[in-house]
Amino acid sequence: MLNDLPIRKIIHVDMDAFYASVEQMDNAELKGKAIAVGGGGKRGVISAASYEARKFGVKSAMSGRLAEKLCPELIFVRPRFDRYKDISNRIRKIFFDYTDLVEPLSLDEAYLDVTDNKIGLPSATLIAQKIRQRIYDEVGLTASAGISINKFIAKVASDYNKPNGQKTVNPEDVLQFLEDLDIRKFYGVGKVTAEKMYQKGIFTGKDLKAKSLEYLDENFGKSGRYYYYIVRGIHNSEVKPNRIRKSLAAERTFSENLSSEIFMLEKLDLIAEEVSRRLEKSKVAGKTITLKIKYSDFTLQTRSKTLSYFVSDKSIILETARELLYQEKLNNSVRLLGISLSNLNTDKDNLSKQNVEDKKSVSVQLKFDF
In 3D space, the residue among 214, 218, 232, 156 whose CA is nearest the CA of residue 187 turns out to be 156
Q: DSSP characters for 280-319?
A: HHHT--EEEEEEEEEETTS-EEEEEEEEEEEE--HHHHHH
DSSP three-state, residue 112: strand
* Contact (Cβ atoms closer than 8 angstroms) between residue 310 and residue 293: no
Give dist(CA 156, CA 10) in Å, integer.
12
Q: DSSP characters for 234-255?
A: ---PPP-SSPPP-EEEEEEEEE
341 forms beta bridges with 248, 289
Contacts of residue 281, defined as CB under 8 A and 6 or more positions apart, other chains included, come to none
Give dist(CA 335, CA 332) in Å, integer.
10
To which H or E segment does residue 125 belong?
helix 124-138
Give dist(CA 195, CA 118) in Å, integer.
44
* Contact (Cβ atoms closer than 8 angstroms) between residue 7 and residue 133: no
Within 10 angstroms of residue 25's Cβ, the number of other Cβ atoms is: 14
Give the count of alpha carbons within 13 A of 338, CB side only: 16
Judge whether 109 counts as a catalytic residue: yes
Q: DSSP characters for 180-198?
A: HSBGGGSTT--HHHHHHHH
Please state, in angstroms and as integers, the Cα–Cα distance from residue 23 to each residue in 13, 255, 308, following that order.
20, 26, 46
Question: What are φ and ψ of residue 304, in 5° steps?
Answer: -130, 155
The number of angstroms, rounded, from the C-alpha of 140 to the middle of its chain's C-alpha atoms is 24
Catalytic residue among 23, 109, 256, 280: 109
Instruction: Point out the residues that are catalytic.
Output: 109
